[in-house]
Structure 1
Amino acid sequence: MQNLNSDGTDNSYRIAEVQNDVEVTVYNDGTGLVKEIRETNLSSGINDVKFVDVPSLMDVTSLRIKDIDNKAVVLEQNYDYDLISSEKLLEKYIDKNITFVLENGTIKGKLLSIPHTSYGQQYNSYYSAQNSFMLRTEEGIVIINEPIKDIIFAGIPENLATKPTLSVSMDSKSAGKHNIEFDYLTGGMNWNANYVCVLNSEDKKMDMNGWMTISNNAGTTYKNAKLKVVAGDIHRVTPKYDVGVNYNVFTGKSAAPQIKEEGLFEYHLYTIPIRTTLKNNQDKQISFLDNNAININKIFEYDLQYSTNVMVKMKFKNSESNGLGIPLPKGTVRIYKVDSENKLQFLGEDGIQHIPKDEYVSLYVGDAFDIVAEKTENDRKEDKCYSEFEYKVDIRNHKKEDISVSVVEHPCSYCNWKVLKENFKHNKESTSKISWEVPVKGNGNATLTYRVLYLFKNCKYPHPKSI
């Protein structure tokens, strides 16, 4: 015989809903690690314990449950995620008694079949035995072929849940209050870094603010949680989670809290010093970086592999001497500058990967309006084993000030190559990238000319000027 509460629900199981502590660690790939401690009263012997308000995207295979005081052991665990809906409720009520409220009264009976179309659609346009409700009543089999106003159910079947629930069977050595710890991975959680940079009037220094944007779409809310994030790309055997759509946005205070950063394996772990509530379907932003007067270099670069225009890039070193020197998590960097009326204007944005300390950061801001570059092939010679190309790059500077443009060439990666002649000295950055720094006077022009020899590897007929 079932033990029932005053509202008719079953009280033969224990509810672990008093949350004594919760810690959430969020990763870059859509994964969250949740560590909860919940309180429940257990009797001596076998207990059925239900953990409600668990995420709908929980990875059940990652569950770890234990009694903190080792006074109870877990025998079995089940994750009930078959959530109630009108369609599922009707399916579960086949062969059960049900009541339909029609225009001219009610009809009661045992439900034998439901329409192929979902409940909630109108049935007053077409009726058939395959597209109607079928009941067994005292008078016989009835097919309802008229509009339905309401459907009355006697209750909710045991195998349907109103929200995801973790059911655990535990064997307790003693009766009384128990603290149960359970840890699990869940999908629907993610975080990324967003940076806001403001240039000074000379484009030589910038102020930089960093924000952690943490998304919770796991299907539940974590109240007063200790929050940590991991910067780094972890490997998962299972596919990465789809983070989904975010709805509400919370913006934190502008002052950066003293976030603790530490190494964790080959990653970086950031601990937020204050507890916070992660609501379901919410983006939360927390400031973690606030640095001023960072030295930067503005670079004009002409690289046809990426753009037909002259690109404007900002380069700086992530070093302590330059006001930084901390691991910068991957994210989006947005760059601003104030105008003559001291109003902030948006210049552009670029993405960065994880940047260790003491490494350089290069940001592609946009294309230069007043600088034009054109590349022309002047000559070529080709044979079985080699090719020679001669190019010129004309640069026109319509700005008042003198500039320098970095012209980038990407030589053939499957050839041996050599610069035969040039009017500016090149810099070999790698086997597949060389560059020239070309100075251009204000409102002036400049021309770079160079000739490159390519020798095909393993060729039997070498060129006289072979490398």
Structure 2
Amino acid sequence: MRRALSLLGLLALVPGAARGADEATVLSAKPDAVGVTIYRAPDRAADTAMNLGWLEGYALITETRTVDIPAGGATIRFEGVAGGILPESALVTGLPAGVREKNLDADLLSARNLYARAYGRPVILRRHRGKDGKGTVSEERAVIRSAADGAAIVQTRQGFEVANCGRGITDTLAYTEMPDGLSAKPTLSVRTESTSAKRATITLSYLAWGFDWQTNYVVQLNPETGKAAMTAWVTLASSDPTSFVDAGAAVVGGKLDREDAREDRERPEGDLVLHCYLGGHAQTVLIQQAMPAPAPPISEMEAPLADIIVTARRADEKAMAAPVKVTEEGLGDLKLYRVPMPTTVAAHAQKQVAMHDLKGVKFTTWHTADLYDDLETRAQIKLRTRNRREDGLGIPLPGGPVAVFEPQGENMLVVGQGGMRDYAVNEDVEVTLGLSPQVAVAVVKKGTGSGWRDEEAKVTNANPWPITFEGSLRIADGEKIERPSSRLPAKFGRPTWTVRVPANAEARLTYRVRTPTN
């Protein structure tokens, strides 16, 4: 079985001291109940889509576990914690005598850790020569003679060579045994002491890296009524190797200031990237690790991250039932959106849960552009509304990608895609959908003189329907607009031309720009 395994390095919070000979080990294989609250990536703009290949948000994981504690000293091993756990954040409550020591016990099974632990040990070098499935395949014993950074140097009967480094050659390393000290499940352990044997209910809380969430909006415009149906979905994503089954899931809207050294990493630590140098040119290669894989906790773990979109439904509902919607709660200046039923936050997967299903939202379509010298461009298409009940909204709107559809016969076709930042109630909402292929904008110079220039702005509408255009005049500091052919009220501190352009027609604005003289 050929498989490239991803990295999740585990760091010890406190170096573990040697256990006494009489100290017991207690295994907690899984939690009785778990809650997952996901926070948006701190440095990702609200209107920017998640990078599903590199999630930079985090989650607060809260687990409840029942543990039988023996009398005396004991080490309690919590298996199945998040692989991206930030161990310094771990908080354990409910132990009779508290916690003496916390550790993340072993390196997680990954391509990088396998390679590093196999240094100086024999492996199987499987070599394929040829292209497009043609050629020969051979196997031979080899010994790893390099670290996990740089080139993969192995020793065979013929001497030392660089694996997977040659034209027409593809190599795979297969391991004959599992190195000591690697764990198939992320495990946190704590040491404690108790005066007597007892059963305890323990709460384990920690932050974990590798999660994110966003709101996805689908807007269906109705040109006849000028209103729209708007559906909002909460998308939860996890790149963690651990699945949290039947979790109490929630997301937090708003931005928290948070710094983490992991944010500066260019790639996860578990990826095994080796370099091959041929003819003085560096070539990056990935050595695949062939080995038996542990059974995934649920079937969703096998699916690629970008391919899993599951609508959360109650366990007893049929496939045609309406999706469950998240509920909104206050959290100080933030908003908490809770999934009101248990849902699985699956490993390496994403999930969508309904948030809003709004009818009769009053959107207006605008075409806009900044107007300046010698301009020739296409107008931006923007949707605008106001986040108030009278316009069909009046609810907090977390930012996220927006897809806009319009009817074309019996079908709904995409007419634009954009993004929306976070909007509070009563704020003006604006969604930029991209450039219009049918609306052109130009500014030409009509004359110049001492300390002045005359310009003309023209908007051409090739649509078979009228449009509203808004042009913001960009002038230098100290310049003034004189003798405009239309009123130019200030908007956001700039003179702004607003005009209704009929179907298959054009509109013009002339004005003089007065330049200050020394």
Structure 1 residue 377: Cα displacement = 1.7
Aligned counterpart, 2:395:
326
Contact 2:325 2:356 in 1 (8 A): no
Question: 1:418 corresponds to which residue?
Answer: 480
How far does the alpha carbon of each residue in 1:80-131 deviate from its partner, in whole angstroms, 9 at most, with x for none?
Answer: 342355434434x88xxx999xxxxxxxxxxxx9533889998556326x99
1:250 maps to which residue? 309
Tell whether the 8 Å contact from 1:396 to 1:445 is kept in structure 2 after alignment: yes
Task: Give 1:288 shift.
Answer: 0.5
Are the aligned partners of 1:256 and 1:290 in contact in 2 as well (CA < 8 Å)? Answer: no
Task: Give the structure-2-normalised TM-score.
Answer: 0.70
CA distance in 1, matches of 2:449, 2:342: 69
In structure 2, do the counterparts of structure 1 residues 71 and 406 end up closer, same or farther at CA, with 3 Å as the change threshold? same
Is the Cα–Cα contact under 8 Å of residues 219 and 404 in structure 2 kept in the other structure? yes
Q: Matched residue of 2:309: which SS?
A: strand
Alignment partner, residue 126 of structure 1: 158
The alpha carbon displacement at 1:451 in A equals 1.7
1:71 touches 1:174 (CA, 8 Å); kept in 2?
A: no
Distance 1:430 1:40, change over 3 A: same
Considering only aligned residues, what root-mean-square deviation do their CA atoms show, in Å?
3.5
Q: Which residue is equivalent to 1:62?
A: 89
Q: 1:206 and 2:228 equivalent?
A: yes
Q: 1:304 to 1:28 in 2, by over 3 A?
A: farther
User: Is the aligned partner of 1:301 residue 2:368?
Assistant: yes
Aligned match of 2:326:
259
The match for 1:348 is 416
- Which of 207, 213, 219 is the matching residue for 1:185? 207
1:22 to 22, 34, 56: 34
8 A Cα contact 2:146 2:153, kept in partner: no
Question: Cα–Cα, structure 1 residues 405 and 99, in superposed 2: closer, same or farther, change >3 Å?
Answer: closer
The alpha-carbon deviation at position 217 of structure 1 amounts to 1.1
Query: Which of 203-212 and 167-176 deviates more?
Result: 167-176
2:381 corresponds in structure 1 to 312
Segment of structure 1 superposing worse, 58-67 or 402-411: 402-411
Structure 2 Cα separation of the partners of residues 416 and 372 of structure 1: 29
Matching residue within 116, 120, 126 for 2:146: 116
1:48-102 deviations in Å (ceiling 9; x for gaps): 11111122211111111111xx5231000111342355434434x88xxx999xx
3-state SS of 2:64 partner:
strand
Cα contact 2:144–2:155 (8 A) shared by 1:
no
Given the superposition, is the C-alpha separation of residues 52 and 449 from structure 1 closer, same or farther in structure 2, using an over 3 Å criterion?
Answer: same
Partner of 2:378, secondary structure, is: coil
Extract unaligned runs of 5+ from structure 1: 5-9, 101-112, 132-148, 462-467
Aligned to 2:271: none
Shift of 1:280: 0.5
- Write the distance in 1 (CA, Å) between the matches of 2:480 and 2:232: 44
More strand by proportion, 1 or 2?
Answer: 1
Q: What corresponds to 1:379 in structure 2?
A: 447
Tell me: higher relative CO, structure 1 or 2? Use CA pairs within 8 A at least 6 residues apart. Answer: 2
Equivalent position of 1:405 in the other structure:
469
How far is the alpha carbon of 1:360 from its aligned partner?
1.6
Where does residue 500 of structure 2 map in the other structure? 439
Deviation at 1:247, TM superposition (A): 4.4
Shift of 1:256: 5.0
Following superposition, the deviation at residue 370 of structure 1 comes to 3.7
Cα offsets for 1:251-278 (capped at 9, x unmatched): 2068453422122222111111111011
Residue 404 of structure 2 corresponds to which residue in structure 1?
Answer: 335
Verify the 8 A CA contact 1:256 1:289 in the aligned structure 2.
Answer: no
Q: In the alignment, what sits opposite 2:237?
A: 215
User: Would the alpha carbon gap of residues 421 and 43 (structure 1) be closer, same or farther in structure 2, given more than 3 Å must change?
Assistant: same
Q: Deviations over 1:184-230 (max 9, x none)?
A: 11110100110001011326111000011100112211111101100
Contact 1:377 1:390 in 2 (8 A): yes
Structure 1 pair 150–269 and aligned structure 2 pair: CA distance change class (3 A): closer
Cross-structure match for 1:275? 342
Partners of 1:367 and 1:312 in 2: how far apart? 6
Deviations 1:21-48, CA, capped at 9 Å, x for gaps: 1111101111111011111111122111
Name the SS of the counterpart of 1:424 in structure 2.
Answer: coil
| 1:391/1:450 contact within 8 Å kept | yes
- Which of the two has higher C-alpha Rg? 1
Structure 2 vs 1, CA of residues 257 and 453 (structure 1 numbering), >3 Å: closer, same or farther?
A: farther
Aligned length: 406
Work out whether residues 54 and 219 of structure 1, in 8 Å CA contact, stay in contact via their aligned partners in 2. Answer: no
Counting aligned pairs with the same residue, the percent is: 24
Match of 2:10 in 1: none
Preserved contact between residue 299 and residue 405 of structure 1 (Cα < 8 Å) = yes
Tell me the SS of whatever aligns to 1:72.
Answer: coil
CA contact (8 A) 1:373 1:393 kept: yes
Say whether residues 1:391 and 2:413 are aligned partners. no
Distance 1:402 1:246, change over 3 A: closer
What secondary structure does 1:300 align onto?
A: strand
Q: CA-to-partner distance for each residue in 1:324-381, whole Å, 9 max, x for gaps?
A: 11111110010001212x1111111111111111112112224334433321022345
1:73 aligns with 2:85: no
- Structure 1 residue matching 2:90: 3-state secondary structure: strand
CA distance change for structure 1 residues 361 and 256 in 2, over 3 Å: closer, same or farther? farther
Aligned residue for 1:250, secondary structure, equals coil
* SS class of match (1:303): strand
Q: Is the CA contact (8 Å cut-off) linking 1:22 and 1:226 kept in structure 2?
A: yes
